[in-house]
Amino acid sequence: MTKESNTYLSVVVPVYQSDNSLEALITRLRLVLAGISTEVELILVDDHSSDRSWELICAAAETFPDVSGIRLSRNFGQHHAIAAGLDAARGKWTVVMDADLQDLPEEIPHLLSKARHGYDVVMARRTNRKDEHWKIAFSAIFYRFFRYMTGTRLDPAVGNFGIYHRKVIRAISEMREAIRYFPAQVQWVGFRQGYYNVAHGKSAVLQSGYGFRSRFHLGLNALLAYSDKPLRLTIKLGFFIASIGFIFALVTLIRYFSGLIVIPGYASLIVSLWVLSGLVLMTMGMVGLYVGKTFEGVKNRPLYIIDQKT
Ligand code: UDP
Ligand code: MG
């Protein structure tokens, strides 16, 4: 963010393989924005699509002065694309939304008017989620697990779509962590947060930008970024197994010396197996904890790399 600007509303859209929804999106967005203010900007961040998305963004940027495009040097993922857009946004308010028209541009005035009634963040809550069943099921499980692991409560009906005041965007932009998950960042920064129920459109993009695999990675990353509970669980598990091992060792030794065990080598084998596995698991967990923390700190890479700008 450079200097204070007169821009009233910025709209940031991460774009990936969305050439069939892009034109409709831009048209509908500009129509809606025209009704709000003349000081608007539409920032389309192309996450290195291989289809015609960037071409279309360039064409739109040439035709409309309020549209600008950023193309990343490779596919960084939607949350990094959002970060690139937020760094460029100068509006007093910023809307973040998906490119596939599942987030309806027509809802923006409602979000804004709710925000004006004393909120810094108004998140869109999708009441009738129009997604495949596996997606809904996956996110339901993930959100529950996320809450258990991190203690942060995320609403499964809330995605990226929402309106955010400049100070919220600034706070999020200052979070330069490499593992990013926008809805969790919004929760983390705080401020006065509200919800607004919106309709959810059917995806205009036939093939979603990413499938189960990338979703799983995204979920795992978000979890690791916000929690060291998995590592703590490993330590506990290791401790538990090691304790069983020691008890087992004791029992086996007693049995050995009282002549109850006749198979040679059994006692030493079984004891070392249990005790060592437990100890190994426990130390791995502890080492992991430190490695994880150090890794976070030292890998000070840029969040995204810009290839082109319009
Ligand atoms: N997206 C992106 N980079 C990616 C994948 C997706 O910028 O690697 C964008 C995509 O263009 C869309 C948003 O992120 O604007 C959400 O993607 P998608 O619709 O595939 O996800 P879903 O709505 O199913 O969660
Ligand atoms: Mg979508």
pLDDT of residue 208: 60
Ligand 1 atom nearest to 205, measured from its CA:
19
3-state secondary structure the chain: CCCCCCCCEEEEEEECCCCCCHHHHHHHHHHHHHCCCCCEEEEEEECCCCCCHHHHHHHHHHHCCCEEEEEECCCCCHHHHHHHHHHHCCCCEEEECCCCCCECHHHHHHHHHHHHCCCCEEEEEECCCCCCHHHHHHHHHHHHHHHHHHCCCCCCCEEEEEEEEHHHHHHHHCCCCCCCCHHHHHHHHCCCEEEEEECECCCCCCCCCCCHHHHHHHHHHHHHHHCCHHHHHHHHHHHHHHHHHHHHHHHHHHHHHCCCCCCCCHHHHHHHHHHHHHHHHHHHHHHHHHHHHHHHHHCCCCCCCEEEEC
Residues 71 and 157 in one domain: yes
* pLDDT at 285 exceeding the cut of 60: yes
Ligand 1 site-directed mutation target among 45, 96, 100, most atoms within 8 Å of CB: 100
| Whether residue 153 sits in one domain with residue 56 | yes
Q: How far apart are CA 2 and CA 150, in angstroms?
A: 34
Range from 44-58, 124-138, 197-211 carrying the lowest mean pLDDT = 197-211
In a domain, 265, yes or no: yes
**Last-in-domain residue among 165, 198, 227:** 227
Q: Let me know whether 16 and 132 are in one domain.
A: yes
**Among the bound ligands, the one closest to the CA of 14:** 1
CB 83, CB 305: distance < 8 Å: no
Instruction: Give the confidence band of 251 by pLDDT, cuts at 50, 70, 90.
Output: confident
259 and 115 belong to one structural domain = no
Residue 55 lies in a domain: yes
User: What percent of the chain lies above the pLDDT cut of 90?
Assistant: 42
- Cβ of 14 below 6 Å from ligand 1: yes
CA distance 278 to 243: 8
User: Is residue 188 assigned to a domain?
Assistant: yes
Q: Give the per-residue pLDDT at 293.
A: 67
What whole-number distance in Å separates Cα of residue 46 and Cα of residue 12? Answer: 11
* Polymer length of the chain: 310
- Please tell me the predicted confidence (pLDDT) of residue 213: 79
Q: pLDDT tens digit string along 29-85?
A: 999 999 888 899 999 999 999 999 999 999 999 999 999 999 999 999 899 999 999
* Least confident among 20-34, 113-127, 150-164: 150-164
Q: Which residue type, as a one-letter code, is found at position 280?
A: V
Claim to verify: residue 43 and residue 185 sit in the same structural domain:
yes
Ligand 1 atom nearest residue 81's Cα:
7
- 125 and 206 in a single domain? The answer is yes
- Answer yes or no: is the C-beta of 77 below 6 A from any ligand 1 atom: yes
Instruction: Verify that 234 and 188 share a domain, yes or no.
Output: no
pLDDT of residue 204: 63
Greater model confidence, 228 or 181? 181
CA dist., res. 202 & res. 28, Å (int): 16
Instruction: Check whether residue 24 and residue 143 sit in a common domain.
Output: yes
Give domain status of residue 292, yes or no: yes
Of the residues 227, 247, 269, the one at which a domain ends: 227
Is there an atom of ligand 1 within 6 Å of 99 CB?
yes
The answer on 269 and 197 residing in a single domain is no
pLDDT of residue 148: 82
In a domain, 303, yes or no: no
- Residue bearing the bigger pLDDT, 42 or 274: 42
C-beta 208 within 6 A of ligand 1: yes
Query: What pLDDT does 261 receive?
Result: 67
Structural domain includes residue 147:
yes
Task: Name the most confidently modeled range: 43-47, 258-262, 285-289.
Answer: 43-47
276 domain-assigned = yes
Range of the domain at 121: 9-227
Q: How many Å lie between the centroid of ligand 2 and the Cα of residue 181?
A: 16
Q: Which atom of ligand 1 is nearest to the CA of 14?
A: 7
Q: Angle between the 133-150 and 212-226 helix axes, to the nearest 10 degrees? A: 10
Total domains, the chain: 2
Distance (Å) from CA 192 to ligand 1 centroid: 27
pLDDT of residue 143: 82
Residues 151 and 265 in one domain: no
Whole-number pLDDT of residue 1: 45
Task: Supply the CATH number for residue 76's domain.
Answer: 3.90.550.10
More confidently predicted of 185 and 155? 185
109 and 255 belong to one structural domain: no
**ipTM surpassing 0.90, yes or no?**
yes
Taking only the tens place, the pLDDT of each residue in 96-113 is 999 988 899 999 999 999
* CA–CA separation, 244 and 236 (whole Å): 12
User: Of 227, 249, 274, which marks where a domain is finished?
Assistant: 227
Question: pLDDT at residue 218 above 80?
Answer: no
Examine the domain organization and report whether 165 and 93 are in the same domain.
yes
Q: Does 88 map to a domain? A: yes
